[in-house]
C-alpha cells in the first residue's frame, strides 16, 4: 500500500535548487490531512510475461487501450475540477494525484504524452491541462526528478490553469482581438489560480507559489509580477514552457494550430531569453523536432506521419507512409525507419489541412 504522506516525505535536496518552490513551506507528513491524500490498495504492476510469437499486435492494442483509459480518467478528473471551481465549490488534489501516481509507477509517461498531444488540439482547457501535465512529467523524468518531485510537478501542472475556469466563456472563445479589459482579466488568472489553490489549506501553499509563476519569463517579460531568472522556480519554468508549446499546437478561436515542428522551432527561439537553457535543452531532448503525429514529406515525394522518434537521431524518426510519390493514398501505410534508410530523408513538414 502506497501512502502519499510517505511519497511526499522529504528525501533531501537532490541537484542544485531543484524544485525549490515545490518544497517551500512543505508540511511534515503527520500534518497532511488524510482526506487529501489517497491510500492505494492495488499492488504494484507485475512484470509483463514474455510475448509469444504473433502476439505483438494484440499486446500493442492492450497497451493503447490502457493509455486511453488512463487519459479518460484524467479527463474526467479535469472536467469535475472545472465544474466545482465554476460552482465555487471546494477542490481536493486527491483524485488527480491517484492517477498521476499510477502513470509514474507504471512508466506510462511517454505513451501518454503522445496520446495527449494527439487529443490536445481540441479547444478544451481540461485536455490542455492534461497535455501540459504529462509533458511536464516527460521533461521532469528527463531531468531525473524522483517520484516525489514528479508527483509534485505533475500535480502543479494539472492545477496550473484553475484560475482560467473563473473567466467568462465569451472572453475565452472570442473570435476577434481582446479589449484592454479582457486582456487584463486573462493576465490576472495566475493570481486567481493561487487564490483557489490556497483555499485547500496552508499545506498547499507550494502549489499556489508555482501557479503564480507559470507565466513569468526569465527576461522579465512575463506576468503578473515580472519575475526574472532565479526568481522563477524550475518546476514553474518547465510547466510554463510546456504550457506555451501546447497552446501553440492547439487550435484557438482566432487562429489555426501551429504545425508541431514550427512550434518546436518557436520554442527554441523563445528559449534564448525566456526559459532556462537547462529546461529548453531537456524539452528538445524529449520532444523531437519532428514530434509524433507530424506529417512530413520525404525526398522521394512520398508523404507520411511520424509514428516514433529516436532521441539520439532527432532528424530521422520512423514514418508511416500515407501517400506514395504520385499522391496515391496507401491503404495500409508501411512504416519506414529513417535511421535505417540512408537514401530517404525529410524535406519539409506538411500541415494536415494541406494533405492530398
Prediction pTM value: 0.73
φ and ψ at residue 348, rounded to 5 degrees? -170, 165
Residue 302's pLDDT is 95
Q: Is 322 strand, coil or helix? A: strand
Residue spans of the chain under pLDDT 70: 1-65, 120-123, 251-260, 271
Give which of 97, 163, 172, 92 is closest to 133, Cα–Cα: 97
Neighbours of 110 (CB within 10 A): 15
Residue 100's pLDDT is 95
Q: Is the Cβ–Cβ distance between 6 and 29 less than 8 Å?
A: yes
Distance CA 142, CA 247 (A): 22
Domain 2-286 has CATH 1.10.3210.10: yes
Residue 1's pLDDT is 38
Domain boundaries, the chain: 2-286, 295-354
Residue 354's pLDDT is 83
Could you write out the DSSP letters of every residue in 37-54? Answer: S-EE-SPPPPPPPPPPTT
Amino acid at each position: 500500500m502506497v501512502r502519499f504522506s510517505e511519497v511526499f516525505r522529504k528525501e533531501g535536496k537532490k541537484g542544485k535548487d531543484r524544485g525549490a518552490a515545490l518544497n517551500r513551506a512543505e508540511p511534515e507528513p503527520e500534518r497532511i490531512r488524510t482526506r487529501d491524500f489517497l491510500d492505494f490498495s492495488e499492488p504494484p504492476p507485475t512484470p509483463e510475461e514474455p510475448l509469444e510469437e504473433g502476439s505483438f499486435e494484440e499486446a500493442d492494442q492492450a497497451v493503447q487501450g490502457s493509455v486511453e483509459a488512463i487519459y479518460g480518467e484524467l479527463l474526467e478528473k479535469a472536467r469535475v475540477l472545472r465544474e466545482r471551481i465554476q460552482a465555487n465549490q471546494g477542490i481536493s488534489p486527491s483524485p488527480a494525484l491517484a492517477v498521476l501516481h499510477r502513470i509514474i509507477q507504471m512508466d506510462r509517461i511517454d505513451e501518454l504524452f503522445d496520446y495527449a498531444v494527439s487529443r490536445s488540439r481540441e479547444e478544451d482547457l481540461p485536455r490542455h491541462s492534461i497535455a501540459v501535465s504529462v509533458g511536464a512529467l516527460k521533461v521532469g523524468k528527463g531531468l531525473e526528478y524522483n517520484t516525489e518531485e514528479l508527483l509534485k510537478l505533475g500535480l502543479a501542472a494539472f492545477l496550473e490553469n484553475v484560475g482560467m475556469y473563473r473567466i467568462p466563456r465569451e472572453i475565452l472563445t472570442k473570435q476577434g482581438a481582446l479589449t484592454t479589459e479582457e486582456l487584463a482579466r486573462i493576465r490576472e488568472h495566475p493570481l486567481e489560480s493561487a487564490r483557489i489553490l490556497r483555499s485547500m489549506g496552508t499545506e498547499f501553499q507550494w502549489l499556489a507559489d508555482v501557479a503564480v509563476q507559470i507565466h513569468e519569463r526569465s527576461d522579465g517579460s512575463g506576468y503578473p509580477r515580472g519575475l526574472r531568472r532565479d526568481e522563477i522556480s524550475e518546476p514553474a519554468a518547465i510547466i510554463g514552457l510546456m504550457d506555451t508549446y501546447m497552446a501553440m499546437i492547439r487550435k484557438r478561436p482566432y487562429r489555426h494550430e501551429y504545425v508541431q515542428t514550427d512550434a518546436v522551432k518557436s520554442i527554441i527561439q523563445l528559449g534564448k531569453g525566456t526559459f532556462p537553457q537547462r529546461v529548453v535543452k531537456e524539452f528538445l531532448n524529449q520532444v523531437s523536432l519532428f514530434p509524433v503525429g507530424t506529417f512530413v514529406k520525404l525526398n522521394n515525394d512520398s508523404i507520411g506521419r511520424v509514428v516514433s522518434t529516436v532521441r539520439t537521431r532527432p532528424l530521422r524518426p520512423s514514418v508511416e507512409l500515407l501517400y506514395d510519390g504520385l499522391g496515391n493514398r496507401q491503404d495500409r501505410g508501411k512504416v519506414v525507419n529513417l535511421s535505417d534508410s540512408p537514401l530517404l530523408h525529410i524535406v519539409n513538414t506538411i500541415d494536415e489541412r494541406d494533405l492530398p
